[in-house]
Amino acid sequence: MKITIIFPGRSIETARPAGAVMPLAPCLLAALTPKEHDVSLVDMFLGDRVDYESDADVVAITVRTPLATVAYEIADNFLQRGKKVVLGGPHIFAFPQEAKRHATAVAIGEGEDLWPRILEDIQRNDLRQFYLCGPLAAQNLPGTVHHVKQRPTLEKLPIMRRDLLPRGRYMMDSIFTTRGCPNHCRFCPVTDIFGAKIRHRPIDDVVAEVSSLGPRYYNVDDSVFGHPQIVDRPEENQYYVDLYRELAGLRPKRLWSGAGGLSAVNYKDGRRILELAAESGLCSIAAGLESISPQGQKQSGAWRKLHYTSPDCFDIQKMKENIHTIQSLGIEVRGFFVIGWDEDTRETYRRTLDFCDEGGITPFIFTLTPMPGSQIYREYLDQGRILLDRSWDYYGTGRIVYRHPNMSAEEMFDLNGEVMRNGYSMGRILKRAIQAFRYRPSLDVIEDSFFTQLGVRKAYRQLYEQIPRPSRA
């Protein structure tokens, strides 16, 4: 069969100018495709066009919530042409029945065990309507179901099919080493999708894959430091110690980035993991700090991610000290903050930027978007606070999709635009890039910091020029 795998994109993409990362999901899905099939990839994020006249037999589309509308339009077009269309991705997890209206079959959960079975069923003319992987409820799905009740082990995975995309247009490759997240943040569906237990890829497999990559890559794990506070599972911490010791020995050494939590500093094993990660080439982390207030930590549930015993124990001074410790190891901290919790005010936006300035943090400040599948989305939906007249296009573009008790949609939109424009003034960009160089004297590091920030500056200026200011909700 001829198979086309599509990674949707749109004109407003804040991540694109900041540096293109090769998408992981379509490359992995292509690698899971049996070799007798002819597979091609379409990365709309980087400008690839969909060929509706293609002779593909099967079209698979990854559906993320902000791209759901685009994905459904593509799917409907191919369905009208008689193609088999399979939809998967994080949005499908929350809305499988919605997705089924635009697909021949829907895949819910991880694809390692589902995708080969889907292709087999197509060839046997026995395609089910829903395919599930993981301990998920299947009884409410209106149609035929194939259910793999255990999540995949991540062992013996094939090498990603990066050869199917023009690698020269990407600034970084992408990998993953683990799946699963124990944090249960209220605004994030990742724990529900991948489970609370962390699963690891074999270290030899990861090292072999990194050896095949270019000079820079991005690790898409939930936390590249793991969760070193889990003292009853020492093998969890040992995995990262062994992995980064192996990666540190590779030549040439690659620079890499990923998401990581500050609290690793507070644990003996965590500090060792941090040091080895830096030695292996880690030069920046996306740190989900989420809020600078105890109230915001409580409402978001992020205090668990910071490994406090309760939100009442939140200590902003300790957060500052941990940030400085990580920076001193030559790891730039890119702080991600969510503003818009019920006790947040207009001043929260400005105080968050001040916090970033004080700590030399690269700011990523977002107004809350309650993502489908998350606890906060379900709660706000029950409370009638989700603006149901907003299409999925509104999600992930800075537009407001819910009602705040104290701020209007216009105010939140304007304030977010203001702090991001100010946060990426040229003076601030240069100051942070020089700081990154001071902690790790490397031309590659200062170039990475400067041009990434320059890309974010461009992206947000385009964003607030292109999307309309909201009317009063």
Q: pLDDT digit string (tens) for 154-175?
A: 999 998 999 999 988 888 999 9
Give 50's pLDDT tier (boundaries 50, 70, 90): very high
More confident residue, 398 or 53: 53
Average pLDDT over residues 167-188: 89
Is pLDDT of 330 > 90? yes
Give 370's pLDDT tier (boundaries 50, 70, 90): very high
Average pLDDT over residues 351-375: 94
Q: pLDDT digit string (tens) for 107-157?
A: 999 999 999 999 999 999 999 999 999 998 888 899 999 999 999 999 999
Q: Which CATH class is domain 172-466?
A: alpha beta
Q: How far is CA 92 from CA 111, 201, 326, 422, in A?
A: 13, 25, 36, 36
For residue 232, the model assigns a pLDDT of 61
For residue 43, the model assigns a pLDDT of 94
The model's pTM is 0.91
- Going from N- to C-terminal start, the domains of the chain cover 2-148, 172-466
Tracing tokens 């540190």 back to the chain, one arrives at 248
CATH topology of domain 2-148: Rossmann fold (3.40.50)
For residue 472, the model assigns a pLDDT of 60
For residue 473, the model assigns a pLDDT of 47
For residue 157, the model assigns a pLDDT of 93
For residue 74, the model assigns a pLDDT of 97
More confident residue, 164 or 226: 164
